[in-house]
Amino acid sequence: MTDFHYMADPSGVATLIWDQPDTAMNVLTFEALDALSTHLERALADDAIKGIIVTSAKKDFAGGMDLRVLGALRASSGAEPAKGIFEGLMKMHGVLRRLERAGADPKTGKGGKPVAWASPGTAAGIGLEIALACHRRFVADAPRARLGLPEIKVGLFPGAGGTMRVSRMLGLMASAPILLEGKMMKPAEALDFGLIDEVSEPEALLETARAWVLSAKPDELIKPWDRKGWKMPGGAPYTAPGFPTFVGAAAMVHGRTQGVYPAARALLSAIYEGALVPFDTALRIEARHFTAVMLNPSSEAMIRSLFLSKQALEKGALRPEGVADRKVSRLGVIGAGMMGAGIAQVAAAAGIDVVLLDRDGQAAEAGRAGIAKRLGASVERGRLAPEARDAALARITAGADMGLLAGADLVIEAVFEDPGVKAPVISAAEALLGAEATFATNTSTLPVSGLARASARPENFIGIHFFSPVDRMMLVEIIRGKETGDAAVARALDFVRQIGKTPIVVNDARFFYANRCIIPYINEGVSLVAEGVSPALVEHAATGMGMPLGPLQLVDETSIDLAARIARATSAAGEGHAPGAADAVIFTLEGEGRLGRKAKAGFYAYDDAGKRTGLWPGLAGHWPPAPEQPGVEEVRQRLILIQVLEALRALEEGVLTDVRAGDVGAILGWGFMPWSGGPFSWVDMTGPGRVLELAEDLAARCGPRFAPPELLREMAASNRRFYPGSGQRAAA
Ligand code: NAD
């Protein structure tokens, strides 16, 4: 029981100090909960103790629940997982409820001891849920402190009373950003929301809390929901103000999530049902919904990919062993266009000195000016301190003189996508670099091993593929060329970690991994239109299954001319590509100058300001919708399978070497149905036998692009899973 320490002072205040051994950040385990409970009972039983402070010895209060514990809870509950999870949750409710009552008589609410929460910094998830059970919440005004309940982002919802307490404190509408969006807030913002009571100078935190504990009035120790006649702020479901709020919220949540995220729906149901009953019953309701979410294969898959696998990749799961860590202190970026400037921006923001080069000084300066503009916009939105912007800009030297690259540890080229332009850039830059420096290309379509021919040291040559917009897209694909050495892979991974993004490592093959799967998704959507399927059906089928963009909107965003160029290049490369119906559609739109969003015309129509106004009615003239339309499930199966089969082929061919990278890369790279945990998790969840059946059926009806890879046949035959022990329950 070393997670919490107990300290009583002569004034009669007991301080429960959370200090989990061997970690920088506290995360809750059941052992820690037991320790908290034991110390709490001790403080409540001791007449000399007048009140309690709950705090942390670390610079933050807590990062949340150890999600591995949740997984273990489920796994260890044997034949009755629901019972095990439910009881685990009720135990947590019991401890926090005891903290909240703090010894008061449940009938009169009298006789409790004051409990203050004093956080030196960040409190996320269960960390904040503990706080919500305390009577008064103090947070130090630490610049990096963030408060919030981010559970929804990994397919859960706050299940330690946070859902019930926040919705009862703030009402449904005001709690939406906290519960439904998982918004993390600075202390001042949390104060505005009413989540905490005081922001204090860091040095004065404990003293302020102690002063409150010693002077707290009995009335301050009773939570609003434990008072007679409590009414939900903003109205309970069956009141005049509450009714439209609840109906509207249900519609809004469904609109945003398309009903594919079990946690969002369960969260809303829990709030709705909980609002109708006394608090202790509401906590049981919360626990029941949380249990159901935990047992949903989607939440298991989301936790695995979006939390466990993502974190493992960020910590270097794919990093070659035996290569020492090397930080990049000076980065060269060649090409100050959209991608180059984006890369320079994120690197400078992470504290790296950057040389940003282009063909002439003017172009390089224009790149730097773009960075200044974007950082300025972040300052205006309150996301970045003005000093941080100034410091980042001061780290960027823009110019046209290759000589500036001297001393760089890493150079990334982002010049035009043309081997004839890239090759001389590669050899000129390399000539100026030290023997240890790494050269990377940001190419998205050219084989890295081919470009490496221009390099005198191909072992130090690698692909570091960013996605657009660089500052927002979290995935970086690291591409190992045929001759790329381990040291270059390690350096690229260390750099990606430095800039706070998530890396996957893939082997060199046409379009690497993400684009390899996105292109067939777009082509399948376009082919459906060519076959006479209504474009609206295609788009809705895609977004309704949880893709962020339908294939037609996606190709408008990335541009029709790019799609046309890729189609031509793919044809020229041979590789068995038969120009299909999709290519013809793309070439037609290209020929009409409907180049997508940038031209304010594409599959969609746009107004003068460039805002989409709807699908372009002219599509029906070119590709008239057939009188008989397929069912939405048929369209969905085509759109899912075309991506999943490509991901399986990438694994089978050794482009991917790790399914975690395939799942995380798919979600972060192109938004593959996050509720599924990624294409490999989706196969596990659906069952390889069923996936094989779907693929064979589609291959027979639509063509060999759906032909199942051998890997799928083998998995179906042996009923094997990518993540052994998971996904055995059928998908909902
Ligand atoms: P861009 O046209 O916006 O920028 C290219 C820049 O390179 C221009 O500023 C140009 O002046 C400069 N340049 C050209 N030749 C040069 C030379 N010899 N020396 C120095 N500078 C030179 O292009 P972009 O969209 O930023 O793409 C750049 C690279 O990134 C390409 O390889 C592209 O495939 C890749 N990429 C693009 C995306 C995307 O979404 N646009 C995504 C991933 C990767």
Nearest CA to ligand 1 atom 44: 444
Instruction: Tell me, in angstroms, the distance from the centre of ligand 1 to residue 442's CA.
Output: 8
Q: Taking residues 705-725, what's their average pLDDT?
A: 95
Angle, CA of 42, 43 and 48, to the nearest 5°:
115
CA-angle at 266, arms to 264 and 267, nearest 5°: 65
Residue nearest to atom 1 of ligand 1 (CA): 337
Ligand 1 centre to CA of 730 (Å) is 45
> Residue 679: is the preceding peptide bond cis (ω within 30°)?
no
Query: Atom 35 of ligand 1 has which residue's CA nearest to it?
Result: 443
| Model pLDDT, residue 579 | 64
Residue nearest to atom 8 of ligand 1 (CA): 337
Q: Which atom of ligand 1 is nearest to the CA of 337?
A: 4
93-140 per-position pLDDT tens digit: 999 999 999 999 988 888 999 999 999 999 999 999 999 999 999 999
Closest Cα to atom 28 of ligand 1: 414
For each of the domains in the chain, give its residue range(s) and CATH number, in order of start: 4-295 (3.90.226.10), 330-509 (3.40.50.720), 515-632 (1.10.1040.50)
Element (H, E) at 17: strand 13-18
What is the enclosing helix (H) or strand (E) of 40? helix 30-45
Helix, strand or coil, per DSSP, at residue 619? helix
Tell me how far apart the alpha carbons of residues 263 and 284 are, in angstroms, rounded to a whole number. Answer: 17
CA–CA dist 417, 66 (Å, integer): 44
| Res. 730 pLDDT band, cuts 50 70 90 | very low
What are the tokens at 521?
């998704």
CA of 469 to the centre of ligand 1 (A): 13
More confident residue, 165 or 84: 165
What are the C-alpha distances in Å from 254 to residues 153, 265, 376, 550, 638? 16, 8, 35, 17, 24
- The closest-lying atom of ligand 1 relative to the alpha carbon of residue 341 is 26
Atom of ligand 1 lying closest to residue 425 CA: 18
**Does residue 204 contact residue 180 with C-beta atoms inside 8 Å?**
no
Q: pLDDT, tens digit, for every residue of 497-550? A: 999 999 999 999 999 999 999 999 999 999 999 999 999 999 999 999 999 999
Q: Summarize pLDDT for 273-301 with one digit per residue, the tens.
A: 999 999 999 999 999 999 999 999 998 89
Distance CA 84, CA 295 (A): 11
Report the separation in Å between the CA atom of 171 and the middle of ligand 1, taken as the mean of its atom positions.
Answer: 49
- Confidence bin at 571 (pLDDT 50/70/90): confident
Contact residues for 166 (Cβ-Cβ < 8 A; gap 6+): 132, 149, 158, 175, 178, 179, 195
Strand order in 115-119's β-sheet?
Answer: 4-8, 13-18, 51-56, 115-119, 136-140, 198-200
CA distances from 724 to 278, 328, 363 (A): 42, 38, 52
Q: In this predicted structure, what is the pLDDT of residue 728?
A: 45
- Which residue among 333, 356, 357, 358 is best mutated to probe the pocket of ligand 1, counting the most ligand atoms within 8 A of its Cβ? 358
Distance 336 CA to ligand 1 centre (A): 7
Pocket lining for ligand 1, CB < 6 angstroms = 334-340, 357-359, 363, 414-417, 421, 425, 442-444, 465-468
What is the reported pLDDT for 442?
98
Distance 241 CA to ligand 1 centre (A): 54
> Which of these, 404, 425, 406, 428, lies nearest to 415 by C-alpha position?
425
Q: What distance in Å separates the CA atoms of residue 583 and residue 438, rounded to the nearest whole number?
A: 38
Q: Which atom of ligand 1 is nearest to the CA of 445?
A: 34
Whether pLDDT at 729 is above 60: no
6 three-state secondary structure: strand
Expressed in angstroms and rounded, the spacing between residue 416 Cα and the centre of ligand 1 is 4
Q: Please tell me the predicted confidence (pLDDT) of residue 79.
A: 81
To the nearest 10 degrees (0 to 180), the angle between helices 162-170 and 172-179 is 140
pLDDT surpasses 90 at 2? no
Atom of ligand 1 minimally distant from the CA of 335: 7
List pLDDT tens digits, range 343-385: 999 999 999 999 999 999 999 999 999 999 999 999 999 888 9
User: Which ligand 1 atom sits closest to the C-alpha of 466?
Assistant: 43
Q: Among 343, 345, 355, 359, which residue has the most ligand 1 atoms within 8 Å of its CB, making it the best to mutate? A: 359
Q: How far is CA 290 from CA 168, 265, 297, in A?
A: 18, 11, 13
pLDDT, one tens digit per residue, over 207-254 is 999 999 999 999 999 999 999 899 999 999 999 999 999 999 999 888
Per residue in 419-452, pLDDT tens? 999 999 999 999 999 999 999 999 999 999 999 9
Residue 723: φ, ψ to 5°: -115, 95
As beta bridge partners, residue 55 has: 17
Cβ pair 152, 182 in contact under 8 A: yes
384 in helix, strand or coil? coil
Which one of 334, 338, 468 would you pick to mutate in the ligand 1 pocket, going by the greatest count of ligand atoms within 8 A of its CB? 338
User: Judging by beta carbons within 10 Å of its beta carbon (0-12, 13-18, 19+), is residue 18 exposed, middle or buried?
Assistant: buried
Report the nearest-CA residue for atom 40 of ligand 1: 468
Cα 335 to ligand 1 centre (Å)? 6
Q: Tell me how far the alpha carbon of residue 344 lies from the centroid of ligand 1, in angstroms.
A: 13
> Does residue 577 surpass a pLDDT of 70?
no
Whole-number pLDDT of residue 404: 97
Distance 337 CA to ligand 1 centre (A): 5
Nearest CA to ligand 1 atom 42: 467
Of 339, 448, 464, 513, which is best to mutate to test ligand 1, by the most ligand atoms within 8 angstroms of its C-beta? 339
Mutate which of 356, 444, 510 for ligand 1? The one with the most ligand atoms within 8 Å of its CB, which is: 444
Measured by CA distance, the residue closest to atom 3 of ligand 1 is 337
For ligand 1, the distance from its centroid to the CA atom of residue 438, given in whole angstroms, is 19
Q: Measured from the CA of 558, which atom of ligand 1 is nearest? A: 40
Looking at the CA of residue 441, tell me the nearest atom of ligand 1.
32
Q: What is the mean pLDDT of the chain?
A: 94
pLDDT digits (tens, 9 = 90+) for 304-339: 999 999 999 999 999 999 999 999 999 999 999 999
Cα-based distances in Å from 346 to 105, 220, 343, 374, 593 = 55, 47, 5, 11, 34
Give yes or no for a contact between 25 and 64, defined as CB atoms under 8 angstroms apart.
Answer: no
Ligand 1 probe mutation, 401, 411, 415, most atoms within 8 A of CB: 415
461, HSE (Cβ side, Cα atoms, 13 Å):
24
CA 579 to ligand 1 center in whole angstroms: 27
Q: Quick one: pLDDT band at residue 727, thresholds 50, 70, 90?
A: very low
Crossing angle between the packed helical segments 688-702 and 632-652, to the nearest 10 degrees: 110
Lowest mean pLDDT among 425-434, 560-569, 570-579: 570-579
pLDDT value of residue 573: 76
> What proportion of the chain, given as a percentage, has pLDDT over 70?
98
How far CA 257 is from CA of 263, 269, 295, 456, 464, in Å, comes to 10, 15, 19, 51, 32
Residue with tokens 């949540």: 253
Q: State percent of the chain over pLDDT 90.
A: 89
- Arithmetic mean of pLDDT, 542-568: 95
